[in-house]
Amino acid sequence: MCAHKSCGIAEKVWHPYGIAGVKNGVKPHSYCIRCGTIKRISSSSNRPKTIGYYINALTEILKTPSEKKRVTKVQMRLIVKELEAMDDFCDMYWVTKSAQDGMFISVVQKYCKITEGFVKSFL
């Protein structure tokens, strides 16, 4: 996976952009000088989070008394490991928070019997 490095401000490229799938004309976008990936512009509420954000959410779930039996530290480690291995999840250039949330929920549910709504309440 590429450790993206952004181009300078002067080298930004004009590229179509949209919010929540609605086209909004063109805007200058940064791109990666190593692989050429264009950085997505997201609304502030949909900007990707680092994996630390999701580890915190897992820690909070673990602290919830009613869920203690369902989410163990071993499961938590497996979940984090799986998330770290997902290129899409960690690609801060391209992923959106809503896409990350979806991936996070499906991985959590793979290891733990908890509902989507419950996981979402921590995000």
- Where do contacts with Zn ion occur on this chain (CB under 5 A)? 2, 4, 32, 34-35, 37
- Alpha helices in the chain, H assignment, sequence order: 51-63, 73-84, 87-90, 97-111, 116-120
> Residue 7 Cβ, how far from Zn ion at the closest point, in Å?
10
Q: Which residue number, 37 or 75, has a Cβ lying nearer to Zn ion?
A: 37
> Residue 37 Cβ, how far from Zn ion at the closest point, in Å?
5
> Residue 5 Cβ, how far from Zn ion at the closest point, in Å?
7
Q: Which residue number, 35 or 85, has a Cβ lying nearer to Zn ion?
A: 35
Sign of CA dihedral 70, 76, 80, 86: negative
Q: Which residue number, 34 or 81, has a Cβ lying nearer to Zn ion?
A: 34
- The total number of residues shown for the chain amounts to 123
Q: How far is CA 90 from CA 9, 26, 42, in A?
A: 24, 26, 15
